[in-house]
Amino acid sequence: MARIAVVAGDGIGPEVVAQARKVLDAVLPDVQATEYDLGAARWHRTGEVLPDSVLTELAGYDAILLGAVGDPTVPPGVLERGLLLKLRFAFDQYVNLRPSRLWPGVAGPLGNVKPGEVDLVVVREGTEGLYAGAGGSLHRDTPAEVATEESLNTRHGVERVIRDAFVRAGRRERRKVTLVHKTNVLTHAGSLWARTFDAVAAEHPDIETEYQHVDAAAMFLVTQPQRYDVVVTDNLFGDILTDIAAAVTGGIGLAASGCINPEGAYPSMFEPVHGSAPDIAGQGIADPVAAVLSAALLLEQLGHSESAARVNAAVGAELASRVPGATLRTEEVGDRLAAHAVA
């Protein structure tokens, strides 16, 4: 039996997570899901974001399914840092896995790629970089205000995520890893990433490697996304590049992710790449596919590969049958996906 903690969160989070649970329940009847009330509503009610007692409880689950975090009525960072990043850091989820593929029936925006031609995965470092929270400010709200935000890069952190990328590439057909950074300008961190990448690459002579500056990668992800297989990069670059990858493969509504602790010392967490989208929350029109594909990643991580394949097949059928411009209802999509996954 799989024990899963569900953090639906804010905005469209509860709507899309409900559909992901529907699909999970359909393919894995003995899943035991427990909901956790975390996010904007709890903060408004109690002032709490993620109490230590809840963090301790969450550590005991096999995995966490998360919806979305962030609300315009809460100061920026309170929920994003206090909940989302706190979970990733506390559970050492250093591999932020973000696959992107162009599904049959889905049109790329430029018409320059055909379905099947794009199938890449970004291995984004998840616990360091500019997201580490190092920095500070002086003379706040004065004309002399100064703010710093420092990128933290450790040999340990960089090496383990690069190793993970090579292991993943070794399991894939194309066996290629692209390092993305900005080594010509960010020379301190860039040098660490490049030297570590070269050292790990030397241990994997069977895997093709390349290096790209992040600005070039942003361009090529749009113009030639088919050139990528596994991309490994730091926390901020990975966050930005995966939104671009999502845009060229059907939109953010299809983009899934896993925040993974590969050693299994802590639960991994699975979440759609999208945020809480407060502008459409409560209308029942959010696309639940990203949340459902995140549930498929969760199944894969827990060893339920056959169930994961069923969910992916259901998504494939759903996307192939979509009529461009037709109104999408969140619950109806969830119903169709659940039915197809067990058909």
Examine residue 87 and tell whether it contacts ligand GGG (CB under 6 A).
Answer: no
Residue type, 266: Y
Q: How far is the CB of 279 from ligand GGG (least distance, A)?
A: 14
Judge whether 36 counts as a catalytic residue: no
Examine residue 80 and tell whether it contacts ligand GGG (CB under 6 A).
Answer: yes
Helices (H) and strands (E) in the chain, counts: 12, 12
Q: How far is the CB of 40 from ligand GGG (least distance, A)?
A: 11
Examine residue 68 and tell whether it contacts ligand GGG (CB under 6 A).
Answer: yes
Q: How far is the CB of 69 from ligand GGG (least distance, A)?
A: 4
Nearer to ligand GGG, 62 or 239 (CB): 239
Q: Dihedral angle at the C-alpha atoms of 256, 262, 268, 273, nearest 10 degrees?
A: -20
Interface region with ligand GGG, contact rule CB under 6 A, candidates 21-29, 66-74, 164-172, 210-218: 66-74
Examine residue 19 and tell whether it contacts ligand GGG (CB under 6 A).
Answer: no
DSSP notation for 8-64: EESTTHHHHHHHHHHHHHHH-TT-EEEE---SHHHHHHHS-SS-HHHHHHHTTSSEE
Q: Which of residues 128-187 bind ligand GGG (CB under 6 A)?
A: none
Of residues 14, 70, 99, 250, which one binds ligand GGG by CB under 6 A? 70
Judge whether 114 counts as a catalytic residue: no
Examine residue 99 and tell whether it contacts ligand GGG (CB under 6 A).
Answer: no
Examine residue 69 and tell whether it contacts ligand GGG (CB under 6 A).
Answer: yes
Radius of gyration, CA atoms only, the chain: 20
Consecutive H or E run containing 66 = strand 63-68
Q: How far is the CB of 233 from ligand GGG (least distance, A)?
A: 13
Q: Which of 92, 234, 239, 287 is catalytic?
A: 239
Taking residue 10's Cβ as centre, other Cβ atoms within 10 Å add up to: 26
Examine residue 335 and tell whether it contacts ligand GGG (CB under 6 A).
Answer: no
Structure tokens, 293: 């594909």
Interface region with ligand GGG, contact rule CB under 6 A, candidates 43-51, 62-70, 153-161, 320-328: 62-70
Judge whether 22 counts as a catalytic residue: no
Q: Which of residues 232-291 bind ligand GGG (CB under 6 A)?
A: 239, 271-272, 274-276
Taking residue 189's Cβ as centre, other Cβ atoms within 10 Å add up to: 20
Which of 40, 46, 38, 37 has the alpha carbon at shortest distance from 74? 40
Helices (H), 116-180: 155-170
Judge whether 30 counts as a catalytic residue: no
Judge whether 61 counts as a catalytic residue: no
Residue type, 176: K
Distance CA 67, CA 13 (A): 4
Catalytic positions, written as ranges: 131, 182, 215, 239, 243
Chain contacts with ligand GGG (rule: CB under 6 A): 68-70, 80, 84, 239, 271-272, 274-276
